[in-house]
Amino acid sequence: MDNRVIVGIDTSNYTTSCAICSLEGEIIENYKILLPVKIGENGLRQSDAVFAHVKNFQNIANIIKEKHANYDIVAIGYSAYPRDVEGSYMPCFLVGQSICEMLSSLYNIPIFKFSHQLGHIRAALYSSKFVCKDFIAFHISGGTTEIVNVHNHDGEYKIDIIGGANDLHAGQAIDRIGVKMGLLFPCGKEIEKLALDNKEIIPKPKTSVSEYFCNLSGLENLATKIYQDTGDKCLTAAYVLDFIGSTLEKLVINLRKNMNFPIIFAGGVMSNQIIKNRLFKFDNVYFAEPQFSSDNAAGISLLAWEKYLRGKK
């Protein structure tokens, strides 16, 4: 049995993640620890996120040592910045960088860096078993709502932004409204549970979509008013998800008018089954499983695996 593996690390503003990939390109483990957020708050300051990541990695290191002591780590990858654009930067990614640089130096193994966004897309490709050189990716999460054109040339990815949200991100809207209703951050799972229990008629969403771009800031105000007027958490949650689902549906319709590339949906928001059900009707669309939609390091380990194999040719 080949015990050589690739390790991927992702330190987003929500989750400490570490994944292990075999030399056959299979994810062996996909560890995730949510960063602690105080009740009533919408996320963390970067300084608090950095501190939380440092604490979490001791727990992850203990798990790997206990369960995978016999593995031989031959390469390592990490998320170095949020997106593949000039100036993209978040301090929390420095934690993963520091850990990976230390491991690379100690064990004399190659190190590769990628964007958090590309990690999400690669994890979605793996989970959905979708293989294509040119495709469209929707990255819908708490920190990003973007539509990107992706070209994959033998594991080298070129990403161009072609659309997305002009203001609030979809995950931000879900969390802000959820926190207003007393839910714990991040609020996605609780919002989905509440929405599934809704028995009331959902008001028609007043979406704002133009070509491949949308506005979501109005959603927060509209949903807040529904909650203030009715006190109904289930109805409010259903409205939020219906609004986001309708917005994404319109964006896909607009894309299909001009291009027929396959579309893959990535990011934490796309683990929501209610939203996904709105999009299944389109042809040539693909979705990641929930554990590969939310923040994770699986995509990073797979990207590092591809780089490692190319270097061995």
Q: In this predicted structure, what is the pLDDT of residue 120? A: 97
| 296: Cβ contacts below 8 Å, ≥ 6 apart | 10, 15, 17, 19, 30, 32, 119, 123
Burial 276-312 (b: 16+ CB within 10 A, else e): bebbeeeeebbbbebebbbbbbbbbbbbbbbbbeeee
pLDDT tens sequence across 284-309: 999 999 999 999 999 999 999 999 99
First to last CA, the chain: 22
Residue 201 has pLDDT above 60, yes or no: yes
Task: Compute the radius of gyration of the chain from its Cα atoms.
Answer: 20
pLDDT tier at 313, thresholds 50, 70, 90? low
What DSSP designation does 289 have?
A: -
Looking at per-residue pLDDT, the higher value among 249 and 63 belongs to: 249
- 23-52 residue pLDDT tens: 999 999 999 999 999 999 988 999 999 999
More confident residue, 2 or 160: 160
Q: What are 21's strand-pairing partners?
A: 6, 27
Cβ neighbours of residue 87 closer than 8 Å, sequence gap 6 or more: none
pLDDT at residue 76 in the model: 97
Angle between the 93-107 and 46-67 helix axes, to the nearest 10 degrees?
40
Q: What residue has token string 């008001």? A: 203
Which residue has tokens 């590092």? Answer: 304
What mean pLDDT, rounded, does the chain reach?
A: 94
What the block records as the tokens of 119 is 């990690």
Residues near 29 by beta carbon (within 8 Å), at least 6 away in sequence: 18, 19, 20, 64, 67, 68
Which residues, at least 6 apart from 18, have a Cβ–Cβ distance to it below 8 Å?
7, 8, 9, 10, 29, 31, 57, 60, 64, 297
Triad 155, 272, 212: Cα angle to 5°: 65
CA 243 to chain centre: 20
| The one-letter amino acid at 272 | N
pLDDT at position 1: 64
**Going from the N-terminus, what domains does the chain have, and what CATH number goes with each?**
4-129+293-312 (3.30.420.40), 134-288 (3.30.420.40)
